[in-house]
Amino acid sequence: MTERIILILFFLFVLVSCVFAELEFRLVGVFMPGDSVTAIELDDTIMYISDGAGGFLIVNIAEPTAPLLVSAGPDYYEPGCCYASDLFLLGDTLLLADHLLSRFDISDPRTPVLIDTLRLTWGVYSATNWGDTVALGGWEFWAIVDFSDMAAPVILSETPSSGVVYDVAKAGDILVVEENLVRGVRLQLFNVAVPTAPVLVSTWESDTIPVWGVHTINDTLLFLGEGILNIANPATPVLLSVVPGLPYSPPGGDWCTILNDTAYVAHSNWYGDSVADLFVVDLTDPLTPLVIGECVLPEWEGASAVAVRNDTIFLGYYDIGLSPGVVILACETSGISGCTFLPSSLVLSVYPNPFNSSVKIDAPAGSTIEIYNIKGEKIAVVPADKSGLHQWTPDKPIGSGVYLIHSKIGDKSLTKRVVYLK
């Protein structure tokens, strides 16, 4: 039952609008979480989603055309410490940067168990790891933590920063810290060969390109969004090249994945510039990086995270357009230079969320609107005999918690997660 509720399947194998010469994308499936997709991690047949204010979700993607919700992170948050901005895996442990750093045992993905939370000086926004050693970026600080004993992590060092550290990346013995300052963004390069005593090697700022994140290509090259930085000599970083045709996208979420000398870049489109949601960049020759693919999905905006497995791309979205979600795309080599995406006729919006008395549901006439609890049990049906606003007011016995509003018309369906605060 839960699987049928959470499954969002529509337009199986339809073509998505594209403008390029070498790549073709097909829309394979869609999964709709409750809040904003800020990061995606893949592990065999499981997708882990950092879900903004919703915590995290674990989704079965053994069949990408039918992503199925396995479980959601428990409601453990403290006031003011409730926005999950990044996550990553260490064995059977999921680490969630949620202003704290929370650790979950996911040995059984159906029942994630909170191990503990690590509280540092300020909120944690980003993370990267090498083995059991983790670098964390946060509000005016960054830190290195040893997680070899998951039950008792050790803070090896904590370094103040002049701004918010939204991204950290490691290349060889160099840790690159992206500082967001009032005047702009700068990178600081630290030698962390001795993680208990990081040494500042250099500071780099660009007047050529905006820096909107940092990802490691290899031990000497970094991808900065619009350019490639050579740190073979970390004391004197050199901007090696600029990526032509790749527009600026403000930092946010886990916006890039690099695989086999190819960068997959999620473009937020925050400024309404109507450019592609996804760019594929060939980094084989770092002197001449080349955009080899672009993909536009008209029904979404605010692409924020991307992950890749084989030839399948998982593209996450903030709750900026119609809905947050993860769009699953098949990426293929092709000579096709253009194709068409057919928009969905089903739209579902709910507000306010969270709510404390009733929630308004905007759905088209003829759709079925059903309410389920997190266990997958149907608890209410809302008539939708006409288009427009409908309303669900929970019965008195219904307690506070997470509920699923499921709307279906024909062979199309959408699900939204809402929080009821009684």
Q: Is residue 196 part of a domain?
A: yes
Q: pLDDT averaged over the chain?
A: 79
In this structure, the answer to whether residues 157 and 24 fall within a common structural domain is: yes
Looking at residues 92-118, what average pLDDT do you find? 88
The encoded tokens of residue 140 equal 């005016």
Do the Cβ atoms of 403 and 393 come closer than 8 Å? no
* Residue tagged 């001795």 (tokens): 194
Looking at residues 85-104, what average pLDDT do you find? 86
In this structure, the answer to whether residues 233 and 141 fall within a common structural domain is: yes
- pLDDT over 60 at 18, yes or no: no
175 Cα distance to chain centroid? 22
Rounded to the nearest 5 degrees, what angle is found at the Cα of 239, between the Cα atoms of 235 and 245? Answer: 160
Q: Could you report the per-residue pLDDT of 285-306, keeping only the tens digit for each?
A: 999 998 888 887 766 667 888 9
Q: Could you report the per-residue pLDDT of 309-339, keeping only the tens digit for each?
A: 888 899 888 754 455 678 888 876 543 333 3
Q: Which of 180, 236, 238 is nearest to 211 (CA)?
A: 180
pLDDT over 70, % of the chain = 79
In this structure, the answer to whether residues 247 and 385 fall within a common structural domain is: no
In terms of Cβ atoms closer than 10 Å to its own Cβ (0-12, 13-18, 19+), residue 76 is middle
In this structure, the answer to whether residues 142 and 278 fall within a common structural domain is: yes
Q: Which of 265, 175, 168, 248 is nearest to 214 (CA)?
A: 168
Give the pLDDT of residue 19. Answer: 39
Which helix (H) or strand (E) element contains residue 281? strand 278-282
Q: Which DSSP letter does residue 398 get?
A: P
Domain CATH code at residue 407:
2.60.40.3080
Do the Cβ atoms of 278 and 18 come closer than 8 Å? no
The encoded tokens of residue 248 equal 């600026």
Q: How far apart are CA 204 and CA 60, in angstroms?
A: 41
In this structure, the answer to whether residues 281 and 306 fall within a common structural domain is: yes
- pLDDT over 80 at 254, yes or no: no
Give the pLDDT of residue 334. Answer: 41
Residue 94 CA: distances (Å) to CA of 80, 81, 116, 127, 350: 21, 17, 11, 12, 30
Q: Which DSSP letter does residue 324 get?
A: -
Q: How far apart are CA 70 and CA 111, in angstroms?
A: 9
**β-pair partners for 362:** 349, 389
Give the pLDDT of residue 319. Answer: 59
In this structure, the answer to whether residues 256 and 396 fall within a common structural domain is: no
Q: Is residue 136 part of a domain?
A: yes
In this structure, the answer to whether residues 371 and 299 fall within a common structural domain is: no
Q: Is residue 344 part of a domain?
A: no
- pLDDT over 60 at 60, yes or no: yes
Q: Could you report the per-residue pLDDT of 156-177, keeping only the tens digit for each?
A: 999 999 888 888 999 999 999 9
For 182-277, strand residue ranges (E) read 184-191, 199-204, 215-216, 221-223, 227-230, 238-242, 256-259, 262-266
Out of 294, 312, 339, a domain closes at 339
User: Hey, how many other C-beta atoms are within 10 angstroms of the C-beta on 290?
Assistant: 15
In this structure, the answer to whether residues 302 and 371 fall within a common structural domain is: no
Say which amino acid occupies 314.
F
Q: Could you report the per-residue pLDDT of 235-252, keeping only the tens digit for each?
A: 999 999 998 877 766 555
Give the pLDDT of residue 34. Answer: 63
Q: Which DSSP letter does residue 2 get?
A: H
Out of 339, 369, 397, a domain closes at 339
The encoded tokens of residue 200 equal 């500042």
Q: How far apart are CA 266 and CA 23, in angstroms?
A: 16
What is the side-by-side order of every strand in the sheet holding 68-72? Answer: 39-43, 46-50, 56-60, 68-72
Q: Is residue 392 part of a domain?
A: yes
In this structure, the answer to whether residues 388 and 284 fall within a common structural domain is: no
In this structure, the answer to whether residues 377 and 322 fall within a common structural domain is: no
Do the Cβ atoms of 178 and 213 come closer than 8 Å? yes
In this structure, the answer to whether residues 260 and 392 fall within a common structural domain is: no
Q: How far apart are CA 169 and CA 176, in angstroms?
A: 5
Q: Containing domain of residue 25, as a range?
A: 2-339
Overall number of domains in the chain: 2
Query: φ, ψ for residue 2 (rounded to 5)?
Result: -60, -35
- pLDDT over 70 at 21, yes or no: no
Give the pLDDT of residue 164. Answer: 85
Give the pLDDT of residue 266. Answer: 87
Q: Sign (positive/negative) of CA torsion 131, 158, 201, 248?
A: positive
Q: How far apart are CA 17 and CA 339, in angstroms?
A: 5
Domain CATH code at residue 31:
2.130.10.10
In this structure, the answer to whether residues 135 and 184 fall within a common structural domain is: yes
